[in-house]
């Protein structure tokens, strides 16, 4: 029986359609399937910058304790001494000391480099946190708590140093710098989302001092990793003798006052939320509730960074603060009218969505108005304003909780946000002076 034969055919070319244009010209259209690669998103392009991922990992490790220390101190002191007023006063003292010391630390960082200054400053701050832990554990007098927490004032502004690196790497690219600022703000919110949860869990499930101890380990190890990335570190610069200090630069003082008022929102919200959860019998849930507020801000910050906002930052800031003021009324209503902790958590999630756009816009203005070579100092001054406001807000929130109720104390953040809104609506001095000069000339 004959076997069937198989003829080998040469490989066929892909199907091609030909379109005759003229008698001697053909245009071929290739119908082969093609895979379209989506262009990388703004954050993927940002992290593709050489050296960016390495310093970001270290910076996040060093920044996470910033959301842990104050919550750990409040839970630790209030749990052992039974006074939220004392806990709020101690944290307020530490934040006030940081507001005084941080600009000097930032100035040294700008002049001598991040690695040479940030590492010893971090070690001093870590010793202060460990001293607070030992004083609380062994029942030391109250004044030792204030002294120990004040020693943490040398903690470097890790977020400011990261933003300074982005500004160095992305110089001249405004869109990429906007994305970087939004990314850093989202990172701040991520740390303040995970930090309180981790601190509250460690302080309640392990032992009261565990949150502070873990925070010290993360701070030191993260700062060592961050400063080891020397290729992305901005060069140390000595300011010119004629250059103005950031505090005297045009437009910076009004921004610092706005930051002071906004810090009152954050400081009061933290203490009041912990007290409200404790009154409901769910102290361990306070970290989760605060984390939801930070989660809303983190999501809004990432979305804001992927957009290209229209108009100058100085025109966007009043709208951002107005949105934050309006949304902060929701937690006040939820706590006062219902007293429900789950509903309060939902309203804090919604209220947090206005935080990141407001802070991104504020930091953008700070970068634009800070003299060259002193960027870290300028941004640290903004953070200093926030810390000063947080100190005032913590003290005011703790006092209101002690003398009225935790539900009524949610009026403190609303008041601070309304004050910040009024400050952003004030006319700049230049505009006021110009109007006065034009009116005098007209007369």
CA–CA dist 182, 178 (Å, integer): 6
The answer to whether the CB of 44 falls within 8 A of the CB of 215 is no
- DSSP, collapsed to helix, strand or coil, labels residue 159 as helix
Residue 84, pLDDT score = 74
What are the structural domain ranges in the chain?
A: 47-237+246-434
CA–CA dist 288, 198 (Å, integer): 9
Q: Which CATH superfamily is domain 47-237+246-434 in?
A: MFS general substrate transporter like domains (1.20.1250.20)
CA–CA dist 443, 432 (Å, integer): 17
Helices and strands: H and E segment counts in the chain:
18, 2
Residue 11, pLDDT score = 55
Residue 8, pLDDT score = 53
The answer to whether the CB of 412 falls within 8 A of the CB of 397 is yes
Residue 326, pLDDT score = 92
Residue 77, pLDDT score = 85
CA–CA dist 33, 49 (Å, integer): 32
Residuewise pLDDT in 10s, the chain (443 residues): 555 554 555 555 555 444 444 444 444 444 455 555 666 677 788 888 888 888 889 888 998 888 788 888 888 888 787 777 788 788 878 877 887 888 888 888 888 888 888 899 999 999 999 998 888 888 888 888 898 888 888 888 888 888 888 888 887 677 788 788 888 877 877 787 777 778 878 887 888 788 889 999 999 999 999 988 888 888 877 655 555 666 677 778 888 888 889 888 888 888 888 888 888 777 767 777 877 887 888 788 778 777 777 677 778 888 888 999 999 999 899 888 888 888 988 998 898 888 888 888 888 888 777 777 677 777 778 877 887 788 788 888 888 888 888 888 899 999 999 998 998 887 765 433 433 333 343 33
28, β-bridge pairs: 18
Give the contacts of 317 (CB within 8 A, at least 6 positions apart). 258, 358, 361, 362, 365, 424
Listed in sequence order, the DSSP H helices in 202-251 are 210-227
pTM recorded for the entire structure: 0.68
CA–CA dist 423, 427 (Å, integer): 9
In this structure, the chain runs to a length of 443
CA–CA dist 209, 212 (Å, integer): 6
């Amino acid at each position: 029986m004959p076997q069937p034969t198989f003829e080998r055919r040469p490989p066929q070319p892909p199907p091609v359609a030909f379109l005759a244009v003229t008698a001697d010209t053909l245009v071929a259209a290739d119908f082969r399937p093609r895979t379209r690669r989506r262009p990388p998103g703004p954050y993927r392009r940002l992290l593709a910058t050489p050296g960016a991922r390495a310093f970001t990992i270290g910076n996040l490790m060093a920044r996470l304790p910033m959301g842990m220390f104050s919550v750990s101190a409040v839970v630790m002191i209030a749990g052992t001494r039974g006074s939220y007023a004392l806990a709020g006063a101690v944290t307020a003292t530490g934040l006030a000391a940081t507001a005084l010391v941080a600009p000097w630390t930032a100035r040294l960082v700008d002049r001598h480099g991040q690695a040479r200054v940030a590492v010893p400053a971090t070690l001093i701050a870590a010793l202060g946190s460990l001293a607070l832990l030992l004083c609380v554990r062994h029942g030391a007098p109250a004044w030792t708590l204030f002294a120990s927490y004040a020693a943490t004032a040398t903690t470097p502004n890790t977020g400011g140093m990261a933003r300074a690196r982005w500004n160095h790497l992305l110089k001249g690219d405004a869109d990429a710098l906007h994305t970087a600022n939004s990314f850093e703000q989202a990172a701040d919110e991520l740390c303040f989302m995970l930090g309180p949860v981790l601190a509250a869990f460690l302080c309640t499930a392990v032992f009261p001092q565990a949150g502070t101890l873990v925070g010290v380990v993360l701070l030191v190890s993260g700062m060592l990793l961050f400063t080891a990335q020397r290729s992305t570190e901005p060069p140390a610069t000595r300011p010119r003798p004629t250059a103005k200090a950031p505090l005297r630069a045009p437009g910076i003082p009004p921004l610092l006052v706005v930051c002071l008022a906004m810090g009152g929102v954050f400081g009061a919200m933290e203490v009041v939320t912990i007290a409200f959860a404790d009154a409901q019998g769910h102290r361990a849930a306070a970290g989760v509730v605060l984390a939801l507020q930070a989660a809303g801000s983190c999501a809004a910050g990432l979305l804001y960074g992927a957009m290209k906002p229209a108009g100058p930052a100085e025109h966007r800031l009043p709208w951002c603060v107005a949105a934050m003021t309006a949304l902060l009324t929701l937690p006040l209503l939820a706590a006062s009218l219902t007293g429900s902790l789950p509903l309060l958590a939902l309203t804090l999630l919604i209220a947090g969505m206005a935080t990141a756009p407001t802070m991104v816009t504020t930091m953008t203005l700070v970068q634009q108005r800070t003299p060259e070579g002193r960027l870290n100092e300028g941004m640290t001054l903004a953070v200093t304003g926030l810390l000063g406001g947080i100190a005032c807000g913590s003290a005011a929130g703790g006092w209101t909780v002690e003398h009225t109720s935790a539900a009524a104390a949610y009026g403190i953040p609303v008041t601070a946000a309304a004050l910040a809104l009024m400050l952003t609506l004030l006319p700049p001095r230049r505009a006021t002076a110009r109007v006065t000069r034009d009116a005098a000339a007209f007369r």
